Amino acid sequence: MPEEPIDRIVERMLEGDDLSRRTFLRRLGTAGFAVSGAATLLAACGGAEGGGDEDRDVDVTHPKVPIRNWTFSNWPLYIDPAVIKDFDRRFGARTKYIQDINDNQEFFGKVRQQLQRNQPIGRDLVVLTDYMAARWVRGDYVEPIDKRNVPNVRNLQDNLRSPKFDPERNFTLPWQSGMTGIGYNRKRTGREIRSVDDLFDPRFKGRVTMLEDPHDSAGLVLWSQGVRPEEASIDQVLAAIDKIDEENRKGQIRRFTGNDYTQDLTQGNSWIATVYSGDVFQLREDNPDIEFVIPEEGGVIWTDNMMIPERAAHPYAAETMMNYVYDPKVAAKIAAYVNYVTPVKGVQEELAKSDPELARETLIFPDAATRRKLSPYPDLDAEDERRMIEAMARVTGA
């Protein structure tokens, strides 16, 4: 007798058919739960991470259940609030949307111990940048995605289909991409800015801010040293960080920032800064003299990824949200609001209907020429990444 598909079983259960519960539990037992059981055992034994990811069973089923309360953690100002409301209305849900991810490292530090102890972290969906997503996948901290619940994944842009850390997109799905480039105050600098080396022009001494995340800062400096960031070796990365250190000691760099470079730029405290493309629109609104440029040597492109943390209580809800935001209409709404680079196909056409000017905006829809100048972050293993982060921490003083 062919085994009954699990959704059929659940449907029967929901209809009150008791006999199928045994079948249901049996199926669960042979599928995903055996894997998590083993992982728990391993974790309990040594507190070490990594449960043999090559052999991981990624064929998981997240049964369709009614979506009620579930938790979605994201970066601040990264979604149009109307989208959440629409989602809730459409699915009768009550999404708890918390904007508590301010920094990849910091967020990881917050939930790290629970992850390592295989405890749920109280969130069903999180959004983290590539290198942190890679770390979570490596460390077995994520639930596989039941692609059956995310048919819209076919709308994923081709260039994002196969990252090294998740070649089949079994665990992650891009939320937005963004570019790191140079933002500057045209009036104060007195001239156009074109190159990474302009950051180190002595005329701007004390008027430069750089991002404290070495992925961004060292990434840009690597370009100026003739190295493509995603191909850089750890030694090249450390050399880039040395350059930043040197300039900092000279007093060239006013300070290192997180997302708060915006304040110094708008107030006129800094004249030139390493910035994220999505902030430019807001910056220009507050201060029309501010311009953004991808340096001629090259810029950096990064992607933030949606992931379901392991032991999440409502994976189906998370997957439904993933599917929802991959609908071009919804993706267009988000793109218009957050002004970052959308990973969903068909958004440009969709947006052209309502806001043609925005649809032409290269900051949201970079053309092929721009994309050639953009490189993802340096691709380092865990040990080298730690060395990079520690080296940068020494430069920024912490």
Which residues contribute to the site for another protein (CB under 8 A)? 46-49, 71, 76-77, 81, 97-100, 102-103, 105-106, 108-110, 112-114, 116-117, 119, 121-123, 139, 205-206, 248, 253-256, 258-260, 262-263, 266-269, 282-283, 285-286, 382, 386, 389-390, 393, 395-398
DSSP-derived 3-state class of residue 30: helix
Q: What are phi and psi of 300, to 5 degrees?
A: -115, 135
**Tokens coding 328:** 């071009």
Q: For another protein, which is the closer residue by CB, 118 or 195? A: 118
Q: Which one-letter DSSP state was computed for residue 374?
A: E
Chain center to CA of 49: 22
Q: For another protein, which is the closer residue by CB, 6 or 98? A: 98
Q: For another protein, which is the closer residue by CB, 318 or 344? A: 318
Provide, rounded to whole angstroms, the least separation between the CB of residue 187 and another protein.
12
Provide, rounded to whole angstroms, the least separation between the CB of residue 267 and another protein.
5
| Residues whose CB is less than 8 angstroms from the CB of residue 312 and which lie 6 or more positions away in sequence, other chains included | 120, 123, 124, 125, 143, 318
Residues facing residue 71 across a β-bridge:
96
Looking at residue 364, its amino acid is I
Q: What are phi and psi of 65, to 5 degrees?
A: -125, 160
Q: For another protein, which is the closer residue by CB, 25 or 48? A: 48
| Residues whose CB is less than 8 angstroms from the CB of residue 141 and which lie 6 or more positions away in sequence, other chains included | 49, 115, 309, 310
Provide, rounded to whole angstroms, the least separation between the CB of residue 297 and another protein.
24
Strands (E), 246-297: 253-257, 272-276, 290-293
Provide, rounded to whole angstroms, the least separation between the CB of residue 16 and another protein.
34
Q: Which one-letter DSSP state was computed for residue 71?
A: E
Q: For another protein, which is the closer residue by CB, 119 or 354? A: 119
Provide, rounded to whole angstroms, the least separation between the CB of residue 101 and another protein.
9
Tell me how many degrees the CA angle 133-139-144 measures, rounded to the nearest 5. Answer: 70
Looking at residue 30, its amino acid is T
Provide, rounded to whole angstroms, the least separation between the CB of residue 214 and another protein.
12
Q: For another protein, which is the closer residue by CB, 34 or 393? A: 393
The answer to whether the beta carbons of residues 333 and 83 sit under 8 Å apart is yes
Q: For another protein, which is the closer residue by CB, 270 or 320? A: 270
Tell me how many degrees the CA angle 104-105-106 measures, rounded to the nearest 5. Answer: 95
Provide, rounded to whole angstroms, the least separation between the CB of residue 225 and another protein.
21
